[in-house]
Structure formats: structure tokens, C-alpha cells
Structure 1
């Protein structure tokens, strides 16, 4: 795992939409993560880590 991946995962755990934004920008992954985070913090974290590591 690269250092950048590690930093993105840590950011994704603290602020899930920000972690996805750093990787993808304002694409659909970001908006999905934002909605999931608004519905519940845990679903946002799970989705963000999944998208970053896939």
C-alpha cells in the first residue's frame, strides 16, 4: 500500500466524503459517499474505504 493510499484511508475514516473527493473529485463516487454519510456516518466510512481500496 502506498503512502498516499494510507493517508486517503485515514481521511476517509475521519471525513468520508473528503477522502473520496481526494481520489475522484466531484464524480458520482463522491455524491454517493456524501449521501451515505448523511444517512449515517458508518455507511459513509464503509463505502469510502471500499471505493478507495478497490
Structure 2
């Protein structure tokens, strides 16, 4: 995982997931988690983009 991916994962989690996986299940899950709370979205983005 590059430094740019980590920074984007922290600032805009759905964008980071979209860049790595495109439109799909992982993106929808991350959008939902980000809406529920920013921290769960960040954690999910970091785990998925590992």
C-alpha cells in the first residue's frame, strides 16, 4: 500500500476503495460504513486496500 493510498483512505475512504476495487460490493459496504461513521469507513478502507 502506497503512502498516497493511505492518505486517501483516511481523508476519503470510498474513493480509496473505488481506486483499488472499482464499483462493487466492497465500495457499497464502505459507503455505508462511512455514512454510519467516518472511523468505520476509514478502518474498512485500510483493511480492504491492504
Matched, 1:40 2:45: no
Gaps of 5+ in 2: none
1:8-27 matches, within 5 Å, as 8-27=5-24
Distance, in Å, in 1 between the alignment partners of 2:23 and 2:3 is: 21
Matched, 1:29 2:9: no
Gaps of 5+ in 1: none
Query: How many pairs were matched up?
Result: 50
TM value normalised by structure 2 = 0.92
TM value normalised by structure 1 = 0.85
